[in-house]
Amino acid sequence: MSNHDLAVIVLAAGKGTRLKSNLAKVLHKAGGRTLVEHIVRACQPLKARDTVVVVGHQGEQVAAVVEPLWAVTVLQHPQNGTGHAVRVAKRALGRAKFALVLPGDAPLVRTDTLKALIAMHRNGNAAATILSAVVADPSGYGRVVCKSETAVSAIVEESQLTDEQREINEINSAIYCFTLENLWPALAEVKPNNKHRELYLTDAIAVMSGKGETVLAQVAGDSREVLGCNTRADLAEVDRIFREWKRNELMDAGVTIQLPETVLIDPDVTAGEDTVIEAGVQLLGKTRLGARCSVRTGSVIVDSVIGDDVKVEAHSLMAESRVEDGASIGPFARLRVGTQVKPGARVGNFVETKKAIVGEGAKVPHLTYLGDAKVGAKTNIGAGTITCNYDGFQKHPTHIGKGVFIGSDSVLVAPVRIGDHAYVAAGSTITENVPDDSLGIGRGRQINKPGWATKKRRELASTLQPQKSSRHTIKKEPRPRRSKRKHRR
Ligand code: UD1
Ligand code: MG
Chain length of the chain: 489
Q: Just list the catalytic residues.
A: 366
pLDDT digits (tens, 9 = 90+) for 96-142: 999 999 999 999 999 999 999 999 999 999 999 999 999 999 999 99
> What's the number of CA atoms in the CB half-sphere (13 Å) around residue 285?
12
For residue 275, pLDDT over 60 is answered with: yes
One-letter amino acid for residue 248 of the chain: N
Q: How far apart are CA 297 and CA 262, in angstroms?
A: 10
Q: Residue 466 — pLDDT band, cuts 50, 70, 90?
A: low
Distance CA 457, CA 33 (A): 68
Supply the residue whose CA is at minimum distance from atom 26 of ligand 1: 14
| Separation of CA 174 and ligand 1 centre (Å) | 7
CA within 13 Å, CB half, 81 = 19
Query: Please, how many CA atoms are within 13 Å of residue 169, restricted to the half-sphere of its CB?
Result: 5
Please state the separation of Cα 91 from the chain's center in Å.
36
Distance 125 CA to ligand 1 centre (A): 26
Ligand 1 pocket test, candidate residues 62, 82, 131, 156, most atoms within 8 A of CB? 82
Quickly list DSSP for 406-446.
EPTT-EEESSEEE-TT-EE-TT-EE-S-B-TT-EE--SPPP
Q: Of all residues in the chain, what percent carry a pLDDT higher than 70?
A: 95
Indicate which atom in ligand 1 lies nearest the CA of residue 55.
22
* CA–CA dist 215, 125 (Å, integer): 9
Q: Is the CB of 328 under 6 A from ligand 1?
A: no
- Mean pLDDT score, 263-285: 98
Cβ of residue 11 lying under 6 Å from some atom of ligand 1: yes
DSSP assignment of 104-144: TT-TT--HHHHHHHHHHHHHTT-SEEEEEEE-S--TTSPEE
- Report how far ligand 2's centroid is from the alpha carbon of 104 (Å): 8
CA dihedral 28→31→34→38, nearest 10 degrees, is: -140
- Segment 447-463 shows an average pLDDT of 96
pLDDT at 475: 56
Pocket perturbation via mutation, ligand 1, pick of 105, 109, 169 by most ligand atoms within 8 A of CB: 105
| Predicted confidence (pLDDT) per residue in 379-403, tens digit | 999 999 999 999 999 999 999 999 9
CA of 388 relative to ligand 2 center, distance in Å: 53
% of residues, the chain, pLDDT over 90: 92
Predicted confidence at residue 148, as pLDDT, reads 87
d(CA 125, CA 395): 68
The reply to whether ligand 1 has any atom less than 6 angstroms from the CB of 326 is no
At residue 333, the 3 state secondary structure works out as coil
Q: Are 201 and 103 in contact (CB under 8 A)?
A: no
Residue 201 has pLDDT above 90, yes or no: yes
Q: How many helices (H) and strands (E) would you count in the chain?
A: 9, 37
* Closest C-alpha residue for ligand 1 atom 14: 228
Which atom from ligand 1 is nearest to the alpha carbon of 56? Answer: 22
How far does residue 404's CA lie from ligand 1's centre (Å)? 65
- Which distant-in-sequence residues (6+ apart) come within 8 Å of 249 by Cβ? none
| 347, 330 contact by CB (below 8 A) | yes
Q: Can you spell out the DSSP letters for 190-228?
A: ----STT----THHHHHHHHHTT--EEEEE-SSGGGG--
Identify the helix (H) or strand (E) that includes residue 297: none
Give distance in angstroms: CA of 142 to centre of ligand 1.
10
Q: Is the CB of 428 under 6 A from ligand 1?
A: no
Q: Is 79 in the pocket of ligand 1 (CB under 6 A)?
A: yes
Whether the CB of 200 sits within 6 Å of ligand 1: yes
Residue nearest to atom 2 of ligand 1 (CA): 174
Please say whether the beta carbons of 85 and 103 come within 8 A.
no
Q: pLDDT tens digits, residue range 12-56?
A: 999 999 999 999 999 999 999 999 999 999 999 999 999 999 999
Please work out whether the CB of residue 12 comes within 6 Å of at least one atom of ligand 1: yes
Cβ neighbours for 438, distance < 8 A, ≥ 6 positions apart: 419, 422, 423
Residue 472: pLDDT band by 50, 70, 90 thresholds? low
How many other C-beta atoms lie within 10 A of the C-beta of residue 473?
6
Residue 182 CB–ligand 1 contact under 6 Å: no
Instruction: Give the closest residue (by CA) to ligand 1 atom 11.
Output: 142
Q: Is the CB of 172 under 6 A from ligand 1?
A: yes
Tell me the CA–centroid distance for residue 104 and ligand 1, in Å. Answer: 8
- Three-state DSSP at 356 gives strand
Q: From the CA atom positions of the chain, what is the Rg in Å? A: 34
Which pLDDT tens digit goes with each residue over 351-369? 999 999 999 999 999 999 9
